[in-house]
Homo-oligomer: A and B are copies of this chain.
């Protein structure tokens, strides 16, 4: 204990611009004196959530919990198009915080559906981004881990697209797997560039240090992937949500 000489921070850390923008939009709305809610937690981070609560921004699970006339922030993950319709029907002010990257994904899905492709979506089935995406391509086949992939049929024309935060190596592996399942395979590489850069920076830092502390949501696939990457380069890593989790002094 007490042997830590230097603490290095990976080059690019913290929230991506998509999440930051959604938070900012919620804050601006509240600052303008509007009753403001977020549909789901805008980010799984206690500090930010309590900050927002202090200025009156409450997270709701459903539009039914928002009063007529109040503002509701759609978080970066995006939602099904029906949600916008329902919000309008209920007279709510919608503040769209959908990440530009996710909006592009949604548009591409619509295009692929229109062009008649059998669509495979790599993603975590219940993840809000995936639930939202399925609003644009209800027949898309969602697959996650490799044991799922056998469910992918053989079709003449198939398309592959991914939830933005899936690891790039998994997406590439699935693409190679699908090459022999279709005569024409159209791949939309919708892995978020910020996610990729975080992973690159994690690998770079992990190679230089003796121990990595990965800070993020306990159940966040992103955070778990960063922890896993440290293991790949052979650097011990501990995953925490906040400073309170640092209870064991021995690794330091």
Contacts and interface: CB of A to CB of B under 8 A. Distances in A.
A149 to B, nearest CB: 14
A188 B183 contact: yes
Contacts of A188: 183-184
Given A176-B173, A176-B176, A186 B187 contact: yes
A180 B173 CA distance: 11
Contact of A189 (B171, B172, B184, B187): B184
Interface residues of A, number: 16
A182 interface: yes
Nearest to A183: B189
Integer count of this chain's copies in the complex? 2
A205 B12 CA distance: 54
Contacts of A180: 168, 172, 189
A55 interface: no
B187 A185 contact: yes
A101 to B, nearest CB: 11
A233 interface: no
A22 to B, nearest CB: 23
A175 interface: yes
Contacts of A182: 189
Contacts of A183: 188-189
Contacts of A184: 186-189
A189 B176 CA distance: 11
A179 interface: yes
A176 B176 CA distance: 5
Interface of A: 168, 171-173, 175-176, 179-180, 182-189
10 closest A-B pairs by CB:
A176-B176, A185-B187, A172-B179, A172-B176, A175-B179, A186-B186, A183-B189, A184-B188, A175-B176, A179-B189
17 contacts: A168-B180, A171-B179, A172-B176, A172-B179, A173-B176, A175-B175, A176-B176, A180-B189, A182-B189, A183-B189, A184-B187, A184-B188, A184-B189, A185-B187, A186-B186, A186-B187, A187-B187
